[in-house]
Amino acid sequence: MWLLVSLLILAFLITAANIWRIRRRRIGGVKSRNKYFRRLAGQLNLSATGDEYLVQLEGNWKGRRVIVYPHNFEGPGSITLLHMETSVPFRERTWLEPTLGLGRAIAEWKRGAFFSYERSGNLPGVEELQREMEKHRATFPFIALTVPSRFLLSQSVTEAFRDCANFVVVVALDAGRKPALARLTRALDVMAKLSEILEVPRVTSGH
């Protein structure tokens, strides 16, 4: 009987020690990631906000407001999400998005499967926008031009876009905990290009 109790206690202690080591390693990884993102903020001329567990970069890129932050999906793992506000007022239920949800699109992209796009509503320049998005499907697992209330995976980002009245470009990077500066820069430039296409004045029929 005492042998069984001793074995159970030993098993419990081993399990507790393993959990403690995993949590310590995870917390250490998060702190290292956040320190890296804060360094990126200086290189991108953005500001870093948050605490030792959560971090996001905010500022302007080519005259447009941007927010960049890491997120950990249960399936796809560590990704980086970027949101850029355009200067065009959004219309309800109007967007150009992948036909798959964010997590599924990233999982499919990892295995080399490209998705198609869903067009909803009357989006200005939708043909040119989709052509531009498709140029970068091999680089970015998710690109969307949508309303500001979609694909917000952080409470602080949700608060930041609560009063946003414009369309937003969303890009996801599958680059692990520490995305390279060059990849982030390229993603921001692509988002700025999509914003420019949307912002071009267009003459509507009948005018």
Sequence ranges of the domains in the chain: 2-199
Confidence of residue 205 (pLDDT cuts 50, 70, 90): very low
- pLDDT surpassing 70 at residue 8: no
pLDDT single digits (tens) 69-113: 999 877 678 899 999 999 999 999 999 999 999 988 988 898 888
CATH class in words for 2-199: alpha beta
- pLDDT surpassing 70 at residue 27: no
Please tell me the pTM assigned to this model: 0.83
What is the structure's pLDDT at 86?
Answer: 97
pLDDT single digits (tens) 177-202: 899 999 999 999 999 999 999 998 76
Confidence of residue 40 (pLDDT cuts 50, 70, 90): very high
The DSSP-derived string for the chain is -HHHHHHHHHHHHHHHHHHHHHHHHHHHHHHHHHHHHHHHHHHHT-EEEE-SS-EEEEEEETTEEEEEEEEEETTTEEEEEEEEEEEEEP-TT-EEEESS-HHHHHHHHHTTPPP-EEEES--TTHHHHHHHHHHTTTT-SEEEEE-TTSS--SHHHHHHTTT--EEEEEEEE---SS--HHHHHHHHHHHHHHHHHHHS--PPTT-
